[in-house]
Each structure stands twice: as C-alpha cells, then as structure tokens.
Amino acid sequence: MENVFKAEPKHADFSWASIGDIKEGRENLGEDMPVLVYRLLQYSMNHVLVTEMGQEQADHVFRAAGELVGHEYARNALDLTLGMDPFLAQLQASLRSLRIGILRMEMLDDRDGSFVLTVGEDLDCSGLPITNEVVCVYDEGFIAGIFEEYTGKPYKVREVDCWASGARVCRFKGVQGG
C-alpha cells in the first residue's frame, strides 16, 4: 500500500527554496527593508543565545547559520564555474547589489588558498559603537560557506578587524582546512 502521508518539509528545514517567493509575497512592500530591522533581529537573537547558552556557543550557532547560508547563496546566486578573478568580481557585485557590503580582496594566496578580504559598510556592524571587539561572526560563516562551495575545500574564516573594534571596515582572514 502506498504511503499517502508524505512528509512535508518542516519550517525548520533550510534551503534556498525556504525563503519563498519574496516578490510575490511582498507585492506592495517590495524586497527591501531598513538595516534597522535586520539588526533588531540579529542582535536580539544574539542576546538571547548568549544569555541562554554563553558567548562561545552563541558564536558557534551564528557562524554555523552563516555557513549554511553561504553554501546556499553560492549554489543559487553565483556562477561557481568561473575562474577566481571573475568569481570574486561577481561576488563583489552581488554583495554590493544586495547592500550587504563592499567587498575588497586584499590578499589571495594561490598556493594555499588563504585570503584576507575586507567588507566596507558591512550590514552587520557599520555604525556600531566601538566596544573593542569583533562582532561579525555570522559573516565569518557566510564567507567560509561561499569559499567552501566554490573551492570544494573546507575553510575557517575569522574576523580580525571590525567597525566595533574601531576599524572602518571589517577584515576577514580565511584559511583552507577549517
């Protein structure tokens, strides 16, 4: 007998399709929203996670979520068949177009795949008060996921400069091998 009760995807399952058809669903309001709304969600979620789980575990959750989205973003919004220079130009244009930030590659080592890149006007932190800390943990995962998807190799990405640490850009170092 055929199983007529097919499992439906759960709300908690994530893939590119999970974001739905935003144009159809927001016919009058459109796809754009203020950075304020994004940050309210991000920083309230971070507060609750840190309070409930501690900073280390909260960072792990944000980084893992960013990595998941980085993989999906790379597979669905970027051409992964391009050579490195055209790929980076495409990524730069894409992040700017979505107003995530202004990407600049400072260093890319072809031998080991390590890199240093900056994101100006970063969605997560530009304009925050200076607290002498780096706060763009989600971005660490997002960038790692993109580079993992593009190269097929695991990456570990960490932020070394941030608006919140007093820098005017976010600077990330990435190394293969995660």
Using alpha carbons, list the distances in angstroms from residue 69 to 4, 27, 85, 131, 168: 32, 25, 22, 27, 25
Main-chain dihedrals φ then ψ at residue 108, nearest 5 degrees: -140, 120
Q: Is the pLDDT of residue 94 over 80?
A: yes
Q: Average pLDDT for residues 146-165, to the nearest whole number?
A: 97
Residues in contact with 69: Cβ distance below 8 Å, sequence separation at least 6, in sequence order: 141, 142, 145
Q: How confident is the model at residue 62 (pLDDT cuts 50, 70, 90)?
A: very high
Q: CA 31 to CA 16: how far, in whole Å?
A: 16
- Angstrom distances, CA of residue 97 to CA of 24, 51, 91: 20, 35, 10
| Gap between the Cα atoms of 58 and 123, Å rounded | 19
What topology does CATH give the domain 19-176? Muramoyl-pentapeptide Carboxypeptidase; domain 2 (3.30.1380)
Instruction: Identify whether the C-beta of residue 173 lies closer than 8 Å to the C-beta of residue 119.
Output: no
Structural domain boundaries in the chain: 19-176
Could you give the C-alpha distances from 4 to 1, 7, 10, 94, 153, in angstroms and in order?
9, 9, 17, 42, 40
Lowest-confidence pick of 5-14, 39-48, 103-112, 116-125: 5-14
